[in-house]
Amino acid sequence: MKDRRNNHPAAGFRLAAFLACLFVPAAPAAAGDPAAGERVFNKCKACHQVGEGARNRVGPVLNGIVGSPAGVVEGFRYSRALLESGLTWDQESLAGYLADPRRFLPGGRMAFPGLRSETEIADVIAYLAGFGPDGTPK
């Protein structure tokens, strides 16, 4: 007789649960490494500052950026595209923007080609997430 064990409804559920465990760690929101992100941030430093005493340069101060609406740093003249984007900078939107700023935000003014590696993106987001709105560590 044929072995019917795999047709039991619970088998499918167990399989789904097993697959979910496999896939969750690979999700795009995978937590990055802030220490590695600090090194990635060297690529941003030509234009951005973060931390206590940070000032707007070519780009806006990035304190408290993770979770913040786009375009709200005082005293920075943003592009119209960014001001009208309606974006909130969460893991997903930051990842899209940092991978390819011009494609993600046509008309935006960030003259940066983008980070190619997903690890670098996750790491730099984790680094930025460590600064509160006033630049002190969170």
- List of residues contacting ligand HEC (CB under 6 A): 43-44, 46-48, 58-60, 62, 65, 70-71, 73, 78-79, 81-82, 89, 94, 98, 108-112, 115, 124
16 or 84: CB nearest ligand HEC:
84
Structural contact between residues 87 and 25, judged by C-beta atoms closer than 8 angstroms: no
User: Smallest distance, Å, CB 81 to ligand HEC?
Assistant: 6
**How far, in Å, CA of 62 to CA of 52, rounded?**
11
Smallest distance, ligand HEC to C-beta of residue 35, A: 16
Nearer to ligand HEC, 9 or 137 (CB): 137
Least Å from the CB of residue 33 to ligand HEC? 15
> Residue 38: CB partners within 8 Å, gap ≥ 6?
127
Minimum distance from residue 90 beta carbon to ligand HEC (Å): 11
Nearer to ligand HEC, 70 or 122 (CB): 70
Q: Is 101 left (phi over 0), alpha (psi -120 to 50) or beta?
A: alpha
- The distance of closest approach from Cβ of residue 67 to ligand HEC in the complex, given in angstroms and rounded to an integer, is 11
Cα–Cα distance for residue pair 92/66, rounded to 1 Å? 10
Q: Which is nearer to ligand HEC, 12 or 107 (CB)?
A: 107
In angstroms, rounded to a whole number, what is the distance separating the alpha carbons of residues 56 and 4?
Answer: 66
Nearer Cβ to ligand HEC (24/31):
31
Q: What are phi and psi of 78, to 5 degrees?
A: -80, 165
Four-CA torsion 50, 38, 126, 18, nearest 10 degrees: 170
